[in-house]
Structure 1
Amino acid sequence: MSDDVLTADDPLYEELYDVRREAESMGNFIDRDVTPEIHELRAKGPVHKGKLREILGLPVTYERHVNATGRQHYTVLTYEACETAFRNPGLFSNTVQMDPRVPEKDRTGLLEIDPPKHRAYRRTIQPKFLMPEALGWWRNRTIDSIVERLVERLSTRERADLNIEYCARIPVYTITTAIGLHGNEALRFRHAYLNSTSASRKISREERMRNFQLVESLLMDLVAARREEPQDDLISYLVDKPLQLPGQDPRLLTDAEIMTQAKLVMVAGGGTSWRQMGITLFALLSNRDQLEDVKMNRDLMDDAIEESLRWEPTAPYHYRLVMADTEFYGHQIPEGSVLELGLGPANRDPARWDHPDLFDIHRPKLTNMAFGLGTHRCLGMNVAKVEMARGIDALLDAFPDMRFDPDAPAPFMTGGLEQRGPSALPVLLR
């Protein structure tokens, strides 16, 4: 990747990495902080019948998953109840994310299948995302050089918007380079993918199809090239990985299966990490005493990241399909219903955390739900944590006096109910 690709000003950054614009394009933007209302609901009980949007009086036109349309929803708001659901994937299934028009035999995406099939596919790629690989291959192959070049770009500046000029760039180029795409394909791929799904409400069906075909052809061409000439990237890694599906002989992944894995990594890795890094910086810059603690003791960086994940997870709601009639925390829930698991509300459950609305890197260490729990715990969480730690460390080293720009509009948390991030991160670097 050339430096000018990584550091160039590209209008696609403004289009793809504006949290409010992202939510508006999906049709799920909310214009108020619903945290106090969530606390009131949780105090009345861990589970409530109905969609959270309906309960809160928010617009209900947005449907995150096609397979959830028309089903009875139940909203889950406590840590204990969410954990119970996550620990029972046989009863509370991730197949809510599947497209019901796709035959079951063709469903190979990790987010839409359950064990044992899920376990078999996850084993083909998970070793590359364990923490030793995140601290080794990922840092050496991608993260460190990207962070260094971005910091160098900022070194001549007095002020910057870290959301667009830093946080947005690290994950998307980390993933692009790791997959094996060229740097100048990173933004184009993300733009095409985000405009190829049913969530792209503001474009025509024909344009969505064109974008879908672009994504498919780009990845299929890459898989074919790596079969011909392997390199040190994720596609080449997957080409040689055996798949052991239950009751079948081991075999190599097909081109389509590799493409599905790569697509998930590209889209998830290039999106959630960007917003969560911004949330962590927003929280630290808003709490100067804790920022000073981290600057003085970098061992606290991991605590700061974990606290940001607890305090404001960028993807605060996950969904599950109920596979059989069941009693769940006082509700008789029929088969075919949908659970809305409130990871964000669970992370602020006062039964688990004192003063949960406060950002406090010194609070006792307890597991939070930002990356989910159990079978579908986020595949890329270790890489995301290393991206955030290395990125913020480098900023603090290069710009020890970094602070919010008093002449810019004050940043705030924004987005949809289902995805959160800062409005911007305008800072003075010196």
Structure 2
Amino acid sequence: MTDTVHTVTTLPTERPSGCPFDPPAELVDARRHGPISRFTHPGGKPGWLITGYDLVRSVLADPRFSSRRDLLNVVDFEIPPAPPGEFLLMDDPDHSRYRKPLVGKFTARRMRLLTERVEQITAACLDAMEETGPDVDLVTAFAKPIPTIIICELLGVPYEDRDSFQEQIDTFMGGETGDEELIAAYTATQEYLAELVAAKRANPTDDVLSELTDSDLTDEELKGISLILLAAGFDTTANMLALGTFALLQNPEQLAALRDDPALIDQAVEELLRYLSVAKSFMRTALEDVEVGGQTIEAGTTVVLSYNTANRDPERHADPHVLDIRRQSTGHVAFGHGVHLCLGAQLARVEMRVAFNALLARFPTLRLAVPAEDVVLRPETADIYGVKSLPVTWDV
């Protein structure tokens, strides 16, 4: 065992000045000292911070580490179990019971069949931008509507409810609201989903949620599953589209390469996922003593897995802090790894492939309408990193 190990006292939250795409400098520095560091959770509990690619993947694939919310040892009070259906915060057999009915509905083949619909929605957004522009906020005009409409259609959310639903999701996932407002938005979303589940049971339609009402899942479980799918299916992709566009605009040679050769889109999407890692980190709790990277993680200890430094690990990628859309970036952990690999990964890829290529083809002179330092970013406290607003313009 190694006696000397780097220590990180608190999880860094400040990104480098002028580098909105890079992880906090202290996280990068921790990785330089080694792939695992001692760490103190905000509640004062001792833990570990894992920043290296190989170790992050090994923990994600190790059944000796738990995803259960109620086992998180980060504060001095008991954390309740995840509500029924919210399977991201569960272990097997509960996790598999909820995930299994969904797997066949989000296969790569089924998501590719959605390509035409994604193209239609994207074209409609670009048409509206063209009519409104040339100065628009890309977040509200493009990045949010595309994944919102798709995931709402998949789950059967009525068209007239989408704007209010998106607003509620924004509120409790944006990382900037007070506890009272956050709880109110979460409660309103839960109440809406309960009504939606009841409506699908009474009058099934052609959507995933209606199909699930034909299973043995209870209304409470369906509500939890719907919340996970809607929040994850909207928020992560919306921020990838907006932050990804920002990154391309700040790397004009990369933007030009993709605009001039749309066949690079698959590589570009994987590289943007690696480079940006908008889902910055996740936590796991050791169920028994486990040796990781030469250190013993004691049973009951919660580790933080830093996805953004794992995806910038120099032992995995040369020049990891450089955006290179010709890089072979497959194998990144932007969607996680192991049994909890993001269920909507293939859907997100389809949306990004279509959206980025269509945006650059429609507006080849697209550029920021404000200085880059004036682009308002989401706080590091948000579950998903991104931009709050991205003013863009183009030549007409």
- Same fold flag (TM > 0.5): yes
- TM-superposed deviation, 1:124: 0.7
Equivalents in 2 of 1:426, 1:170: separation in Å? 18
- TM-superposed deviation, 1:177: 2.4
Equivalents in 2 of 1:183, 1:211: separation in Å? 20
Equivalents in 2 of 1:413, 1:285: separation in Å? 15
- TM-superposed deviation, 1:31: 5.8
Quick check: 1:427 aligned with 2:387?
Answer: no
1:147 pairs with one of 100, 119, 122: 122
After superposing the two structures, state which structure 1 stretch, 210-219 or 318-327, moved more.
210-219
Q: Which residue of 2 aligns with 1:248?
A: none
CA pair 405-216 structure 1, distance change in 2 beyond 3 A:
closer
Q: Which residue of 2 aligns with 1:222?
A: 196
Q: CA RMSD in A?
A: 2.8
- TM-superposed deviation, 1:102: 4.5
One-letter identity of the residue aligned with 2:322: L
Query: Once the two structures are superposed, what CA deviation does each residue of 1:122-147 show, in whole Å capped at 9, x if it has no partner?
Result: 111121111111121x345x533321
Equivalents in 2 of 1:226, 1:218: separation in Å? 12
Equivalents in 1 of 2:161, 2:394: separation in Å? 30
Quick check: 1:115 aligned with 2:92?
Answer: yes
CA pair 103-416 structure 1, distance change in 2 beyond 3 A:
closer
Q: Which residue of 1 aligns with 2:6?
A: none
Q: Which residue of 1 aligns with 2:69?
A: 96
Equivalence map 1:61-72=2 (5 Å) = 69=43, 71-72=45-46
1:47 pairs with one of 28, 36, 55: 36
TM-score (norm 1): 0.78
Quick check: 1:280 aligned with 2:253?
Answer: no
2:164 pairs with one of 173, 182, 188: 188
Equivalents in 1 of 2:336, 2:104: separation in Å? 19
Q: Which residue of 1 aligns with 2:145?
A: 169
- TM-superposed deviation, 1:327: 2.2
CA pair 282-221 structure 1, distance change in 2 beyond 3 A:
same
Paired residues of 1:195 and 1:211 also in contact (CA < 8 A): yes
Query: Once the two structures are superposed, what CA deviation does each residue of 1:262-291 show, in whole Å capped at 9, x if it has no partner?
Result: 111111112111111122212222222222
After superposing the two structures, state which structure 1 stretch, 73-82 or 229-238, moved more.
229-238
Give unmatched runs, 5+ long, in structure 1: 1-27, 55-59, 61-68, 242-251
Paired residues of 1:408 and 1:426 also in contact (CA < 8 A): no
Quick check: 1:238 aligned with 2:212?
Answer: yes
Quick check: 1:79 aligned with 2:56?
Answer: no
1:352 pairs with one of 291, 305, 316: 316
Query: Once the two structures are superposed, what CA deviation does each residue of 1:357-400 show, in whole Å capped at 9, x if it has no partner?
Result: 00001123441110101110111111111111111222122212
SS in 1 for 2:104: helix
One-letter identity of the residue aligned with 1:261: I
One-letter identity of the residue aligned with 2:135: R
- TM-superposed deviation, 1:300: 0.7
Equivalents in 1 of 2:378, 2:334: separation in Å? 17
Equivalence map 1:20-419=2 (5 Å) = 30=14, 32=16, 35-51=24-40, 60=42, 69=43, 71-88=45-62, 90-96=63-69, 102=80, 107-136=84-113, 138-140=114-116, 142-156=117-131, 157-192=133-168, 202-204=178-180, 211-241=185-215, 252-405=216-369, 410-411=374-375, 415-416=379-380, 419=384
- TM-superposed deviation, 1:415: 2.7
Paired residues of 1:147 and 1:391 also in contact (CA < 8 A): yes
- TM-superposed deviation, 1:29: 6.1
Paired residues of 1:285 and 1:403 also in contact (CA < 8 A): yes
- TM-superposed deviation, 1:339: 0.7
One-letter identity of the residue aligned with 1:113: M
Equivalents in 2 of 1:423, 1:200: separation in Å? 11
One-letter identity of the residue aligned with 1:110: F
Equivalents in 2 of 1:268, 1:220: separation in Å? 18
Aligned length: 372
- TM-superposed deviation, 1:217: 3.0
One-letter identity of the residue aligned with 1:94: S
Identity over aligned residues, as a percent?
A: 27
CA pair 29-165 structure 1, distance change in 2 beyond 3 A:
farther
CA pair 226-311 structure 1, distance change in 2 beyond 3 A:
same
Give unmatched runs, 5+ long, in structure 2: 1-11, 18-22, 73-77
